[in-house]
């Protein structure tokens, strides 16, 4: 796809292009040739490496972050008549997981600077029906985990982190995924910081929960196929010991994930370098740059899955959607994260209004997301920055 910009043709810069090298291709090919492509030794290795990376005793691979969130809530025995507190400023999967277990989502507004859930508003939303809080580390900026875990402990409820954006993020020198007393759910979707094509991971410091996740991810069976295969010629059986799902990862995906995880720190360095280039282009414009909220504390790190600008629409003569479209008309895959959940037709039945969640609704109408991946060249980053700046400036008084 090509369009004309300033008299020159440019290829379309897609949003979230994955960074795949020959190592990944070779690793996947080896698995395909091995004769074992389902859940097996590569999944076990990937889980071990991921747990070590985030500093968690246990990591359990699954088919997606959506699956991880659903498994986490189900394993905690959350169900009908229960409530789960989360943010409306997230992808629909966060809230769908709550509804899949029959619980009611309860929304708490975001901080307009960090775009993360506001801890000070959580306590007033807690009722006797509240069973968990799902904080979303939006864009890769870690939530205030110490405060959230403290609130959860005070009220005897669980923390299930939606860490889909937060692979590599740190809060006060603790990696997201490594907090004691918390469950964290990660995504390896193609546009995430690392990819397994599709896939996810759950981390926990509870042996009991980790064992439960492993059984529930594969139909509730107590003896999955690779374990039976590893036992040689001895006849063995699997028995369903609890309710389960088809949420396992495959060795093909895990082989890709192992290679990607080894490159993650380099990927994060590239994202940080490119984000600084963006900052220099936008720092004097009427917008809030979420990345500039890092570090809030010593030892914090933004994982930079997303680079977002929240526009001050009162200073502009057009809408956010029009600005994004103008950027896209210049062959740049700018997009929007997210339309607040309570504004979606299906979730309007929950009864929330703009007055109850003002920050989420305002930012939902004013935020833009720019392409930011290690697969981009510095020239492409400069082009995105220049075009975006030019479009915004054009609409200033």
Do 170 and 273 fall into the same domain?
A: no
Do 268 and 152 fall into the same domain?
A: no
Helix ranges, the chain (H): 22-34, 41-54, 65-75, 92-100, 119-122, 145-155, 207-216, 225-230, 251-282, 320-329, 358-364, 378-394
DSSP assignments along 238-251, one per residue: --B-S---B----H
The answer as to whether 342 is a domain residue is yes
pLDDT of residue 362: 96
Measure the N-to-C terminal CA separation of the chain; round to a whole number of Å: 33
Which tokens sit at 333? 């895959």
Do 268 and 163 fall into the same domain?
A: no
User: Residue 84 half-sphere exposure, CB side, CA atoms within 13 Å?
Assistant: 34
17, 129, 192, 214: the catalytic one is 192
Count of domains in the chain?
A: 2
Which helix (H) or strand (E) element contains residue 86?
strand 83-86
Instruction: Write out pLDDT tens, residues 8-52.
Output: 578 999 999 999 999 999 999 999 999 999 999 999 999 999 999
Instruction: Write out pLDDT tens, residues 263-291.
Output: 999 999 999 999 999 999 999 999 999 99
How remote is the C-alpha of 17 from its chain's centroid?
16
Assess contact for 56 and 178: CB atoms under 8 A: yes
Question: CA-to-CA distance for 362 and 57, rounded, in angstroms?
Answer: 40
For CA atoms 62, 64, 65, 68, the dihedral sign is negative
Do 305 and 213 fall into the same domain?
A: no
Do 210 and 294 fall into the same domain?
A: no
The answer as to whether 324 is a domain residue is yes
Question: CA-to-CA distance for 43 and 210, rounded, in angstroms?
Answer: 14
Instruction: Write out pLDDT tens, residues 244-257.
Output: 999 999 999 999 99
Give the total residue count for the chain. Answer: 397
Do 306 and 224 fall into the same domain?
A: no
Instruction: Write out pLDDT tens, residues 297-355.
Output: 889 999 999 999 999 999 999 999 999 999 999 999 999 999 999 999 999 999 998 78
User: Residue 381 half-sphere exposure, CB side, CA atoms within 13 Å?
Assistant: 21
Do 345 and 210 fall into the same domain?
A: no
Strand 200-204 versus strand 287-289 pairing type? unpaired
Whether omega before 128 lies within 30 degrees of 0, making that bond cis, reads no
Q: Which of 259, 282, 298 is the last residue of a domain?
A: 259
Q: Which of 259, 276, 293 is the last residue of a domain?
A: 259
Instruction: Write out pLDDT tens, residues 143-155.
Output: 999 999 999 999 9
Do 358 and 281 fall into the same domain?
A: yes
pLDDT of residue 378: 98
pLDDT of residue 5: 45
Q: Which of 237, 259, 281 is the last residue of a domain?
A: 259
Verify whether residue 246 is a known catalytic residue: no
Structural domain for 28, as ranges: 22-259
The CATH number of whichever domain residue 294 belongs to comes to 3.90.1150.10
Question: CA-to-CA distance for 367 and 323, rounded, in angstroms?
Answer: 11
């Amino acid at each position: 796809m090509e369009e004309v910009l300033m008299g020159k043709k440019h290829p379309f810069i897609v949003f979230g292009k994955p960074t795949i090298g020959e190592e990944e291709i070779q690793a996947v090919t080896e698995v395909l040739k091995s004769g074992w492509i389902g859940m097996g030794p590569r999944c076990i290795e990937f889980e071990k490496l991921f747990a070590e990376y985030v500093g968690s005793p246990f990591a359990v691979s699954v088919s997606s972050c959506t699956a991880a969130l659903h498994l986490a809530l189900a394993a905690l025995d959350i169900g009908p008549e229960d409530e789960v507190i989360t943010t409306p400023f997230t992808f629909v999967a966060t809230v769908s997981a709550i509804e899949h277990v029959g619980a009611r989502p309860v929304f708490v507004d975001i901080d307009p600077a960090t775009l993360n859930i506001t801890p000070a508003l959580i306590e007033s939303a807690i009722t006797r029906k509240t069973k968990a809080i799902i904080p979303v580390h939006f864009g890769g900026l870690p939530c205030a985990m110490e405060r959230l875990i403290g609130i959860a402990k005070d009220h005897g409820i669980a923390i299930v982190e939606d860490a889909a954006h937060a692979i590599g993020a740190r809060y006060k020198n603790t990696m997201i995924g490594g907090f004691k007393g918390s469950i964290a759910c990660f995504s390896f979707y193609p546009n995430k910081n690392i990819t397994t094509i599709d896939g996810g991971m759950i981390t926990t410091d509870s042996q009991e929960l980790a064992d439960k996740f492993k059984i529930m991810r594969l139909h509730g069976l107590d003896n999955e196929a690779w374990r039976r295969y590893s036992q040689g010629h001895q006849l063995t059986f699997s028995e369903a010991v609890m309710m389960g799902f088809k949420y396992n990862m495959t060795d093909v995906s895990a082989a890709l994930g192992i290679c990607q995880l080894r490159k993650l720190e380099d990927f994060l360095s590239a994202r940080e370098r490119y984000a600084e280039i963006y900052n220099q282009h936008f720092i004097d414009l009427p917008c809030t740059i979420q990345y500039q909220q890092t570090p809030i504390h010593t030892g914090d790190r933004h994982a930079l899955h997303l680079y977002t600008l929240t526009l001050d629409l009162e200073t502009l003569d057009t809408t956010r959607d029009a600005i994004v479209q103008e950027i896209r008309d210049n062959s740049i895959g700018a997009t929007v994260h997210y339309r607040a959940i309570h504004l979606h037709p299906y979730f309007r039945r929950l009864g929330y209004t703009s007055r109850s969640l003002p920050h989420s609704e305002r930012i939902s109408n004013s935020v833009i997301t720019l392409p930011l991946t290690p697969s981009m060249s510095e020239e492409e980053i400069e082009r995105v920055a220049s075009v975006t700046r030019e479009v915004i400036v054009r609409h200033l008084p």
